[in-house]
Amino acid sequence: MLQINADNFPIPYQLLNPASVIFFVVYGLIIFRNLRRVNLPVWVIMFAGAVAVIFLNGISLKDAYSAVNLDVIFFLIGMFSVVSGLEASGLLRYFTVRILTFAGSPQRVLLFILVALGTMSAFLMNDTIAVAATPIVIGLARAMKVRPAPFLITLAFAVSIGSTMTPMGNPQNLLIALSSGIRFQFFDFLRLLTVPTIINYFATYFILKLYYRKEIRGSSVPEHLSLVEAITDVSLAKSSGAVTLLTIAGFFALSISRVLGFETDLNFGTIAMLGSAILYAISPRRREIIKGINWSIIIFFISMFIVMQSVWNAGLIHLFASFLPPLTHVNSPLTILNIIGVSVVLSQVMSNVPFVAVYINLMKGLGFSSMDVEAWVALAGASTLAGNLTILGAASTIIILEVAEEKGHSFSFYEYLKIGSIVTLANIVVLSLWLIFI
């Protein structure tokens, strides 16, 4: 087992190694970019870092290639393809509008955004729902004649909270599920995270209802939101909807087969790729579907794997570990609380996906294995819920903010922090108590 000991690595070498210098530059740019001082997308910054670390000999080309987790990349390509079909057909918009129309009152709109759109995020990835639902939520707020910010912030909370409970809900959960080696990934996440997620839906709802009571008082939901031309391609809607259901059923079937003791090399990535292959085969709009894939996130992940491997090789993560609260490979409440606390704090500095990429290597180096399910789930749950603390915490929140600004609306860092700190505290307390006492 690898022992984490910073003394084994000369500190000047760790800090001055090309990989370490590039790492600090990359994360510095990401932090300042989120503060609106650097006008570069996160994926561009990470991609530039990956290219730089290769050309400056921070990592060999062979190590760079082997660092890329193809299971994660295949899953993203597969799921983004399926979801692109849902978006191109208008089916995703149709269901979102129908859900919000059914709410009936402004208070229930908050609840429906949390529960319905949050749960959709658990199976279609939170970034997808963030992109698709933001314009609809803005349109609803306009129809209600209220400021869109409370509903946009509610959407940001929803896609983080809901995506917590499955391995495919968000990128960091997927990274943990596939890198940790957890055998019953789907069922273990659902078993340990469904109940706290449901509790957090309602806890967050009551907090938001109380916090924004003056703004939504007196407003009303229009009886009918526009569904005109919501579904633009009936044939594609049927095929993409069917493939989506089959893909999700495939995830369940894979998990059940493992519970029953059947060995297979299949994983979430191969199931998602199979679903996308079927959709491409049967849909004549395959070129449009492939263009609709969020390629920037895929480039981000490939680049991040390379950058993270380079700083691991340089020993920077070992130095990094020496400044964190001591983490021991012991199944105890203190270990769970340690993982949760570090996740909440560092997700604000590094954003949750890059933080998880670093911390996975740290935990594996300390001996955490596929048997330590509670520890890995604690990392997944805490890093995801931590995204609700500030705008910097989660990529999905930044996506919502960017889409909203294109529509002429926004919410401030301070407004988000005020309500986000309350929501995150409540959510993290629920998660901690559940994981400690179950």
Q: How far apart are CA 326 and CA 94, in angstroms?
A: 49
Give residue 1's pLDDT band: very low, low, confident or very high (50, 70, 90): very low
Domain-embedded: residue 242: yes
Q: Is 401 or 166 the better-scoring residue by pLDDT? A: 166
Q: Is 10:319 a contact under the CB 8 Å cutoff?
A: no
Stretch 260-285: mean pLDDT: 88
> What is the structure's pLDDT at 13?
53
Judge whether residue 12 has pLDDT over 60: no
* Structure-token pair, residue 378: 């604690």
Mind listing the pLDDT tens digit for each residue in 178-222? 888 888 888 899 999 999 999 999 999 999 999 998 888 767 666
* Structure-token pair, residue 321: 């570990």
Judge whether residue 305 has pLDDT over 90: no
The three state secondary structure string of the chain is CCCCCHHHCCHHHHHHCHHHHHHHHHHHHHHHHHCCCCCCCHHHHHHHHHHHHHHCCCCCHHHHHHHCCHHHHHHHHHHHHHHHHHHHHCHHHHHHHHHHHCCCCHHHHHHHHHHHHHHHHHHHCHHHHHHHHHHHHHHHHHHHCCCCHHHHHHHHHHHHHHHCCCCCCCHHHHHHHHHHCCCCHHHHHHHHHHHHHHHHHHHHHHHHHHHCHHHHCCCCCCCCCCCCCCCCCHHHHHHHHHHHHHHHHHHHHHHHHHHCCCCCCCCHHHHHHHHHHHHHHHCCCHHHHHHCCCHHHHHHHHHHHHHHHHHHHHCHHHHHHHCCCCCCCCCCHHHHHHHHHHHHHHHHHHCHHHHHHHHHHHHHHCCCCCCCHHHHHHHHHHHHHHHHCCCCCCHHHHHHHHHHHHCCCCCCHHHHHHHHHHHHHHHHHHHHHHHHHC
Q: Which of 118-127, 220-229, 263-272, 385-394 has the lowest mean pLDDT?
A: 220-229
Domain-embedded: residue 197: yes
Domain-embedded: residue 336: yes
Tally of domains within the chain: 1
Mind listing the pLDDT tens digit for each residue in 21-59? 888 888 777 667 655 555 677 788 889 999 999 998 888
Stretch 334-349: mean pLDDT: 87
Q: Is 49 or 409 the better-scoring residue by pLDDT? A: 49
How far CA 386 is from CA of 271, 331, 354, in Å, comes to 29, 22, 13
Mind listing the pLDDT tens digit for each residue in 221-251? 666 655 556 788 889 999 999 999 999 898 8
Domain-embedded: residue 261: yes
Question: Cβ neighbours of residue 135 under 8 Å, at least 6 residues apart?
Answer: 403, 407
Q: How far apart are CA 205 and CA 157, in angstroms?
A: 10
Q: Is 16 or 56 the better-scoring residue by pLDDT? A: 56
What proportion of the chain, given as a percentage, has pLDDT over 90? Answer: 33
Domain-embedded: residue 1: no
Mind listing the pLDDT tens digit for each residue in 63-98? 999 988 888 888 889 988 998 898 888 888 888 777
Stretch 282-288: mean pLDDT: 92
Q: Which of 56-70, 149-163, 275-289, 303-317 has the lowest mean pLDDT?
A: 303-317
> What is the structure's pLDDT at 136?
82
> What is the structure's pLDDT at 209?
92
Domain-embedded: residue 84: yes
> What is the structure's pLDDT at 243?
94
pTM: predicted TM-score of the whole model, two decimal places: 0.79
Stretch 173-178: mean pLDDT: 90
Structural domain of 327: 6-437
Stretch 362-374: mean pLDDT: 86
> What is the structure's pLDDT at 401?
83
> What is the structure's pLDDT at 208?
94
Judge whether residue 11 has pLDDT over 70: no
Judge whether residue 130 has pLDDT over 70: yes
Question: Taking all residues of the chain, what is their mean pLDDT, rounded to a whole number?
Answer: 84
* Structure-token pair, residue 158: 């929803």
How many other C-beta atoms can be found within 10 angstroms of the C-beta atom of residue 63? 15
